[in-house]
Amino acid sequence: MQIESADSASWNIAEGQRNDQPILIRYRPDLDYLFYNEKYSQRLTIFWDYTQEDSSGLPSSSQMDSMRDFEDTVVNALDCDRLAIFVFSYTHSGTREWHFYVSDIEKVGSKINEALSSFSKLPIELQVVDEPSWEKLNEVYAHCMQERT
C-alpha cells in the first residue's frame, strides 16, 4: 500500500457557516481506502486556539503565517516516513485543528517535540484517541459531500 505524501496529495477545501461564523475544512478526499487500517488506528488532533481579531472568527494574516510554519514543520517531521498521515484541518471560531492518523504515538510525540524545539512557546494542545475506523475523516467526507449536492 503506497500512501501519498501530504505535500504531493490532492486537497479539497470546504467552506460553511456555524453560528454565523465561517468554517474552513481542508481535507484529503482520497483516503477512504485506509479506513479500518490497523497500522493507523489512533487519531492525533492538535488544537491551536487563537485570539479572534475581528468578527469573522478566522485567524489574522500573521496568525495564518505562524500556523502555516507550524503545520509545515510538523507535517515534514511526521510525513517523511508516513509515521502519521495528515488528513484534514478544521478552522472555526478561534480554533484551528490538525488531524492525523498515527502508527506509533510514542514516536510521533518524540518527532513533534524534536521538530518544534526551535519554536517559542506555542498555544497548542494535543489529544489522542483510538479510532481504527477513521470515524472523524469519514464524518468530514459525509459532510463535505452533502454540502456539494
CATH number, domain 12-133: 3.30.70.100
Hey, where are the domains in the chain?
12-133
- The answer to whether the CB of 23 falls within 8 A of the CB of 16 is yes
Q: What is residue 60's DSSP assignment? A: P
Give the per-residue pLDDT at 147: 57
Give the per-residue pLDDT at 149: 45
Give the per-residue pLDDT at 1: 66
Q: Is the backbone of residue 46 left (phi > 0), alpha (psi -120 to 50) or beta?
A: beta
C-alpha span between 29 and 43 (Å, rounded): 17
Q: For the chain, which ranges sit under pLDDT 70?
A: 1, 146-149
Give the per-residue pLDDT at 75: 95
C-alpha span between 122 and 35 (Å, rounded): 31
Strand pairing of 124-130 and 42-49?
Answer: antiparallel
- The answer to whether the CB of 9 falls within 8 A of the CB of 30 is yes
Alpha-carbon torsion (124, 5, 17, 137), positive or negative? negative
